[in-house]
Amino acid sequence: MKTLVTKRLILRHLKLTDAPDLFAYAHKPNIGPMAGWSPHRSLQNSYNILKLLIKEDDTWAITLKSEDRLIGTIGLHARDFYQALDNKKELGYALDDIYWGQGIVLEAAQAVINYGFIEIELDEILCGHYIHNHQSKRVIEKLGFTFTHEKETEDYQKYPVTLKMYHMMRLDYLEKRFQYDNTGQKV
């Protein structure tokens, strides 16, 4: 992983000192549950999650260029052994609701996808959203992912929920790449 810089954002490594900023949004009921995780119960809870994420080293802190403060996270995750074997990773993200609707995750994801295909040479990037998560659906559509299938899964409370899955192939990305600069922004 390396720091990625876009027009408005710096995507950098997570730090344990991000815990208060993470807790500030991750405790809200409209963030984690839409992404499959339970709202953080305490600052200590956020600190423990950060420790885990830092160890896994596949999640960036989303920060604004104007202020080095965590406002969300974005990552490329190998969810299981088979994904690692097939050289594919899954894109995941969450943003403090104070910043929703400004295209911030779209901008971050374009840079992360570019990094995934060009710098670490993944063959495929996957992305999914719960069927009721229209905001994430819109991000995935705007990024240009292709719908593949639906699958039944469980939410963080073990209630059944339908997940819509999408993918993007490296070869297709490379074909279209002349349209993008090195931060993944359309030129």
Ligand X SMILES: CC(C)(COP(=O)(O)OP(=O)(O)OC[C@H]1O[C@@H](n2cnc3c(N)ncnc32)[C@H](O)[C@@H]1OP(=O)(O)O)[C@@H](O)C(=O)NCCC(=O)NCCS
Q: Which of 24, 28, 69, 100 binds ligand X (CB under 6 A)?
A: 100
124-130, strands of its sheet edge to edge: 4-5, 9-13, 59-64, 67-77, 88-95, 124-130, 160-169, 146-154
Cβ neighbors of 107 (< 8 A, separation 6 or more) are: 6, 7, 8, 9, 185
By CB under 6 A, the residues from 20 to 49 that bind ligand X are: 31, 34-35
Q: Which of 147, 150, 135, 144 is nearest to 104 (CA)?
A: 135
Q: At residue 135, what are phi and psi to the nearest 5 degrees? A: -70, -45
Alpha-carbon gap, residue 123 to 181, rounded angstroms: 20
Which segment (5-13, 60-68, 95-103, 117-125) binds ligand X by CB under 6 A?
95-103
How many CB atoms lie under 10 A from the CB of residue 120?
12
Per the CB < 8 A criterion, the answer to whether 129 and 136 are in contact is yes
Q: Which positions from 106 to 125 touch ligand X by CB under 6 A, shown as an x/- string?
A: x-------------------
- Pick the stretch among 1-9, 63-71, 75-83, 102-110 that binds ligand X (CB under 6 A): 102-110
**Residue 104 touching ligand X (CB under 6 A):** yes
Any contact of residue 93 with ligand X (CB under 6 A)? yes
Tell me: does residue 102 bind ligand X (CB under 6 A): yes
3-state percent breakdown (helix, strand, coil) of the chain, nearest 5: 40, 30, 30
Mutual angle of helices 43-56 and 19-26, in 10-degree steps: 110
Among 103, 131, 147, 153, binds ligand X (CB under 6 A): 103
- Pick the piece of the chain touching ligand X (CB under 6 A) from 40-48, 116-124, 136-144, 146-154: 136-144
CB of 137 to ligand X, least distance (A): 8
Nearest distance from C-beta of residue 183 to ligand X, angstroms: 16
CB of 75 to ligand X, least distance (A): 11
Does the footprint of ligand X cover residue 153 (CB under 6 A)?
no
- List interacting residues with ligand X (CB under 6 A): 31, 34-35, 93-95, 100-106, 129, 133, 135-136, 138-139
